[in-house]
Amino acid sequence: MGRPNILVIVADDLGYTDLGFMGGEIATPNLDTLAGKGQVLTSFYAAPTCSPARAMLMSGTDNHLAGLGTMYEAIAPNQKGMPGYEGYLNDDVLPLPRILRDAGYHTFMTGKWHLGYERQHSPAARGFSRSFALLAGAGSHLNLSSLDRDVDESYREDGEYVTEQPEGFYSTRFFTERMIEYIGSREDDEPFFGYLAYTAPHWPLQVPDADLDRNRGAYDEGYDVLRSDRLKKAKALGIIAEDVALPESLPSVVPWNHLSREQRQHAARQMELYATMVEIMDAEIGKLINSLNEADELDNTAIFFLSDNGAEGTPLEVMLSAEWLDSFSNSTEDLGTENSFSGYGNGWAQASMAPFKFWKMHLTEGGVRVPAFVWAGKTIAGQHRIRAARNAAVVTVMDLAPTILDLASVPHPGNSYKGKEILPMRGKSMIPLLAQETQSVHGNEPLGAELFDGRSLRKGAWKAVWDIAPGLQGSGGPWQLYNIEEDPAESKDLASQYPDKLAELISDWDRYARETGVIRPQFAH
């Protein structure tokens, strides 16, 4: 066998305990099987939201250096036009697919791009030989419309706008079919790099008509019971330590038994649909795996699976206009159809992220710690001595690109590419960790992050975090300090107990901000 095929699969807004192998009740047999034979990364950190995470995945460096210092949709006036805040994957970084394509790889992408709308910023321009990409951060799952673009400008295939809707379109199934088609269309023996970026289970909660009745009644006990059940199973599986207590529910989450009967029915229906979207994604991944197996390519393929951020708990009303939401019918009966546009609310998000604090948008564990695993086919596993394991070492989404290049034996060009200065990667290869030659990728190295003025710094067991107010409604902060290894739920603030340690981490964060060009948004308090 020659060089390895590499497949990166990203779920959108998937919660930490949603999948079976992480403690969830949702039926995900294909992902569970892969994870069971791979390495589950229980301390994998992405970003609080989608495009910053994707920028780091594609570049191997910090999102503030790669052009997504904040989300394009949320850029503050004082950030506009500033380096690192271009709102697209900028030219200071050399994208992973470009490096692999230059090395002879076929490079394929289907699904959510969210790293630039214009043709020169599209997947086709950034190194993908074939691509079918949703440009925006979200769109319908049952047609080609997206949040902020005309329907004829929502998708690009190989750089050109898609103006005709494929028959029977359902996002998850179509993205998988197109990826299988791309992989099968190769006319030589060169390996492929596939980036399959699902839009599920990101809102709107929509499924094909034939799947609307799946999971009926499965969530009638509510999110408080589910949260407790998820944590128990995660502990039983060894994902979460036995001594981690379930923290009190956040004040913004209305207790299930305080909801009216109608509210409970509506909320339960939302979770039924969310679970169905996850089940469909799992089934489609199964189809892709089967196609690779039938083509005798699976043994020489490495698969990286992750979510881009934590589960979504921010109300849609905070992010989308009333006019937009009012154009849909979100009655309980209509939920899940093409005419509905709904998320699943903070109660289910809190359960999805159990036992962590908060959800997407936050730099607490609930916003950034995501389900992830690496699976290696027999050929690769043998060559690199990658064994099935559960691994608690801290790794980040920035580490994927250097790991993939290491696996492919393709060097990063360093500081220059075709006569142009480029940025090196800040991430590190995980291959020595996966081969169990080392216990750590980052050791005591400070790992900083910032988004929407929220700030965090992880260093060994310690984490300092200055969190935003929920939904950006009010001022955030102050700095808090946690021992994440002992308290992953961030329930015991140690700032007053260890002021010197907090000062050290804040100083490390200040250095990180200078190195990466962080510009605090003007709405900062």
The per-residue pLDDT string of the chain (525 residues; one tens digit each, 9 = 90 and over) reads 589 999 999 999 999 999 999 999 999 999 999 999 999 999 999 999 999 999 999 999 999 999 999 999 999 999 999 999 999 999 999 999 999 999 999 999 999 999 999 999 999 999 999 999 999 999 999 999 988 667 779 999 999 999 999 999 999 999 999 999 999 999 999 999 999 999 999 999 999 999 999 999 999 999 999 999 999 999 999 999 999 999 999 999 999 999 999 999 999 999 999 999 999 999 999 999 999 999 999 999 999 999 999 999 999 988 888 888 999 999 999 999 999 999 999 999 999 999 999 999 999 999 999 999 999 999 998 888 888 999 999 999 999 999 999 999 999 999 999 999 999 999 999 999 999 999 999 999 999 999 999 999 999 999 999 998 876 655 788 999 999 999 999 999 999 999 999 999 999 999 999 999 999 998 644
Looking at residue 69, the DSSP 8-state letter turns out to be S
pLDDT value at residue 1: 56
Helices 223-236, 261-294: axis angle to 10 degrees equals 40
* Residues 6/109, Cβ–Cβ less than 8 Å: no
User: Could you tell me which of 161, 83, 84, 91 has the C-alpha nearest to residue 126?
Assistant: 91
> Among residues 106, 114, 141, 202, which one is catalytic?
114
Residue 114 designated active-site: yes
| pLDDT score recorded for residue 459 | 98
pLDDT for position 470: 72
Residue type, 363: L
- pLDDT score at 525: 44
- With b meaning 16 or more CB within 10 Å and e meaning fewer, what string describes 186-225? beeeebbbbbbbbbbbbbbbbbbeebbebbeeebeebbbe
Containing H/E element for 372? Answer: strand 372-376
Whether 266 sits among the annotated catalytic residues: the reply is: no
Report pTM: 0.97
Q: What is the pLDDT of residue 451?
A: 97
Structural domains in the chain plus CATH codes: 5-440 (3.40.720.10)
DSSP codes, 449-482: EEETTEEEEEETTEEEEEPPPGGG-S-----EEE
Q: How far apart are CA 378 and CA 459, in angstroms?
A: 35
